[in-house]
Amino acid sequence: MREFDYDLDYKNLDLRAQPELYRVGRGEQGVLLVEPYKSEILPHWRFATPDIALESSEIIYQMFLDYLAADDFVGADMARKFIQMGYTRARRYANHKGGKKYKGPVPDDKKGQSGAHGREELPRQEEDPIKAESARIFKKKWDECRKNGTYLKMKAEHRERYKEVN
């Protein structure tokens, strides 16, 4: 599996027009970089309460299905990443008041990338039941994305078609 390429000039790229440049990567890699999808999906991404999370997850999941129907794997994968991020961020807020998981600032060279990068994790608080429910809502939709046969087929085809492209 090719890693997500953080060295591309995403501010000036349209990955709908150049899907060969897109790498799935791991987890949520690139979720806040890849255009035009970031601008299409981000306005709908919310998880503050279960009602908000339900509406958000349903809208983004419909976008996921619409991207699949349009044979737009990159869009579908980005919608999947936003749904996954809804789950992970809601879980983070459920476990850590204010959503801060690690001590200290994020190193400038690691912003937007996953992982602790050697930073110390803050202790967990008593679980916030509202954020935990928001996380459960997004997790259900994330599981639906990951099990979608069309998505899995398109993902395998994308990886095979573009495996040699740098």
- The pLDDT assigned to 166 comes to 42
- The pLDDT assigned to 94 comes to 82
- The pLDDT assigned to 81 comes to 98
For residue 69, CA distances in Å to 34, 75, 76, 151, 165 come to 20, 11, 9, 10, 25
CB 122 within 8 A of CB 100: yes
- CA within 13 Å, CB half, 117: 13
- The pLDDT assigned to 17 comes to 97
**Residue 121 dihedral angles phi and psi, to the nearest 5°:** -75, 135
Instruction: For the chain, 166 residues long, give each residue's pLDDT as a single digit of tens.
Output: 568 999 999 999 999 999 999 999 989 999 999 999 999 999 999 999 999 999 999 999 999 999 999 999 999 999 999 999 999 999 988 887 655 555 666 565 544 444 555 666 655 567 778 899 999 999 999 999 999 999 999 999 999 998 844 4
Q: What is the pTM of this model?
A: 0.84
- CA within 13 Å, CB half, 73: 21
Break the chain into its structural domains and give their ranges.
41-99+123-166
- The pLDDT assigned to 66 comes to 98
Handedness of CA 46, 50, 51, 53 (dihedral sign): positive
